[in-house]
Amino acid sequence: MSSSMAILKHCDEVSAVLKSLSHPVRLKVLCQLIEREKTVNDLTEFCGISQSAMSQFLSRMRSEGVLESRKESTSVYYRIADSKMKKLLQALKEIYCK
């Protein structure tokens, strides 16, 4: 298969990934999760938004398969669900954060 055919095959997937990165709060959340999982409170504090707004962002990202969560006692921890997303975020960090 030629590289242009491979690109066509994955356009929908790539478009969905880029959509996940297109909102500043979603991008901030993902950048915080590159290294390790974080709690809802950690993410809310970092992004400077209300907990209800953060919960909406996280719920949407989880339903889209971008994030996974686990509950421990009274805290919910989030992490990036896909290793490809982590690689993309690390590349963006390398390009824009040096």
The pLDDT tens digits for 13-44 are 888 888 888 999 999 999 999 999 999 999 99
Reply yes or no on whether the pLDDT at 2 is more than 70. no
The model's pLDDT over 38-67, given as tens digits with 9 standing for 90+, comes to 999 999 999 999 999 999 999 999 998 999
Residue span of the structural domain in which 46 resides: 3-96
Q: How many domains does the chain have?
A: 1
CATH number (domain holding residue 92):
1.10.10.10
**pLDDT-derived band of residue 3, with 50, 70 and 90 as boundaries?**
low
Record the pTM: 0.84
- Count of C-beta atoms within a 10 Å radius of residue 3: 7
3-state secondary structure of 14: helix
